[in-house]
């Protein structure tokens, strides 16, 4: 493993500890002026999606999926010990959150740093109306030419944009150009490949099949799901200094004997179960051209696989941060 990387080993709980209700069904029970048409939505297979730049992002934006996004936020806060980012900047002043989703990260950042100006952008108008006075949201596509001032932000945050960007080097160049000298990029991405250390998640396991299917869908659409492993070299190539990568193992379900990882796994199980249909429908039917019936069967098998107590699966989460060269302004 390269220097400046860390990996967590996940201890497996004994069989006596596996009677965990987390596996039960009870737990699973233009940037400044936006035309009104941008605030519309489209509907497909009973789910709601963004209308602005239709089809550029694969996930729904309805309440079911928004709850999943907020579950993911809580899970990732637990993973990072309540840190919103890992870049070594203590008092950010101008912050941009790319792909802000429900806006929960940006709101938390604004609350934590009341002197900062925090802007979140997304394709979907799903953020709340009542906000901290130092937080705002705009409907915009980060993959288009940016209209923000150059050399402006001192922190730009990206989280979970896997499968959403066709040209990552171009996006990193935009980030670089719009950071002030000395400013930081902080990115967190999930590697969607389920795996295990004890052989309980082999290639023919439904979790492994799910991963490989969506990795294939990303390559077919030209928007990779493997950015977690490609981010560091891309960010370095874009000209950033002091690039640091940290990798974490995130268990699926409460099978670990480590208390923190056990709780993390419970939240991840809920996160995956809540998100499964929304993750699958668009990519399976639109990109891979499966029938709706085929997609629904695959999703149902995956959700069953999530609850298999004998499978000690995890995936990796990678955080990469880097600094634009130069001294920040006084």
Helices (H), the chain: 25-28, 63-79, 104-112, 168-178, 206-221, 227-237, 259-282, 292-306
Question: What's the pLDDT at 3?
Answer: 43
**Backbone phi, psi, residue 93, to 5°:** -110, -40
Per-residue pLDDT band at 2 (split at 50, 70, 90): very low
pTM of the model: 0.87
What tens digit of pLDDT does each residue of 44-77 get?
677 777 676 655 666 677 777 888 889 999 999 9
d(CA 3, CA 216): 30
| Residue 330 pLDDT > 80 | no
Question: What's the pLDDT at 110?
Answer: 98
Q: Does 83 or 1 have the greater pLDDT score? A: 83
Strand partners, 251: 314
d(CA 279, CA 301): 14
DSSP assignments along 124-169, one per residue: S--S-SS--TTEEEEE--TTS---SPTT-EEEEEEES-TTS-S-HH
What tens digit of pLDDT does each residue of 157-174 get?
999 999 899 999 999 999
Strand partners, 247: 318
| Residue 94 pLDDT > 70 | yes
d(CA 172, CA 8): 28
What tens digit of pLDDT does each residue of 287-316 get?
999 999 999 999 999 999 999 999 999 999
What tens digit of pLDDT does each residue of 269-294 get?
999 999 898 888 888 998 999 999 99
Picking from 53, 72, 50, the residue whose alpha carbon sits closest to that of residue 61 is: 50
Classify each residue of 307-323 as buried b or exposed e, where b means 16 or more C-beta atoms within 10 Å of its C-beta.
bbeebbbbbbbbbbbbb
Mean pLDDT computed over 247-254: 96
What tens digit of pLDDT does each residue of 175-220 get?
999 999 999 999 999 999 999 999 999 999 999 999 999 999 999 9
Helix (H, G, I), strand (E, B) or coil at 296: helix
Question: What's the pLDDT at 31?
Answer: 42
Q: Which CATH superfamily is domain 15-323 in?
A: Vaccinia Virus protein VP39 (3.40.50.150)
Question: What's the pLDDT at 327?
Answer: 83
Question: What's the pLDDT at 268?
Answer: 96
Task: Answer for the pair 239, 325: CB distance below 8 angstroms, yes or no.
Answer: yes
What tens digit of pLDDT does each residue of 4-36 get?
554 445 656 554 554 444 444 444 444 444 445
DSSP state of 117: E
Question: What's the pLDDT at 127?
Answer: 86
């Amino acid at each position: 493993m390269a220097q400046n990387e860390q990996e967590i080993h996940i201890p497996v709980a004994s069989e006596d500890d596996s009677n965990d209700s987390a596996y039960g069904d009870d737990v699973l029970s233009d940037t400044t002026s936006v035309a009104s048409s941008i605030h519309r939505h489209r509907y497909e297979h009973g789910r709601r999606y963004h209308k602005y730049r239709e089809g550029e992002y694969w996930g729904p934006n309805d309440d079911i999926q928004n709850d999943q996004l907020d579950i993911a936020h809580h899970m990732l806060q637990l993973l990072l010990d309540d840190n919103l980012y890992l870049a070594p900047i203590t008092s950010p002043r101008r912050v941009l959150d790319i792909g802000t989703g429900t806006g929960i990260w940006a709101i938390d950042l604004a609350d934590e740093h009341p002197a900062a100006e925090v802007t979140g952008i997304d394709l979907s108008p799903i953020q709340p109306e009542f906000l901290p006075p130092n937080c705002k949201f705009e409907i915009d596509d980060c993959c288009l030419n940016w209209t923000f001032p150059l050399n402006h932000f001192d922190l730009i945050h990206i989280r979970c944009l896997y499968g959403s960007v066709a040209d990552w080097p171009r996006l990193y160049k935009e980030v670089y150009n719009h950071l002030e000298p000395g400013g930081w990029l902080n990115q967190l991405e999930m590697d969607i490949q389920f795996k295990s250390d004890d052989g309980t998640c082999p290639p023919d396991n439904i979790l492994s099949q799910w991963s490989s299917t969506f990795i294939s869908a990303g390559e077919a659409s030209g928007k990779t799901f493997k950015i977690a492993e490609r981010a560091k070299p891309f960010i370095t190539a874009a000209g950033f200094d002091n690039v640091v990568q940290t990798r974490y193992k995130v268990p699926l379900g409460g099978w670990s004997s480590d208390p923190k990882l056990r709780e993390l796994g419970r939240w991840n199980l809920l996160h995956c179960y809540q998100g499964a249909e929304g993750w699958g429908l668009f990519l399976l039917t639109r990109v891979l051209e499966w029938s709706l019936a085929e997609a629904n069967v695959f999703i149902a098998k995956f959700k069953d696989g999530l609850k298999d107590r004998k499978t000690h699966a995890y995936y990796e989460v990678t955080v990469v941060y880097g600094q634009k060269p130069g001294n920040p302004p006084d």
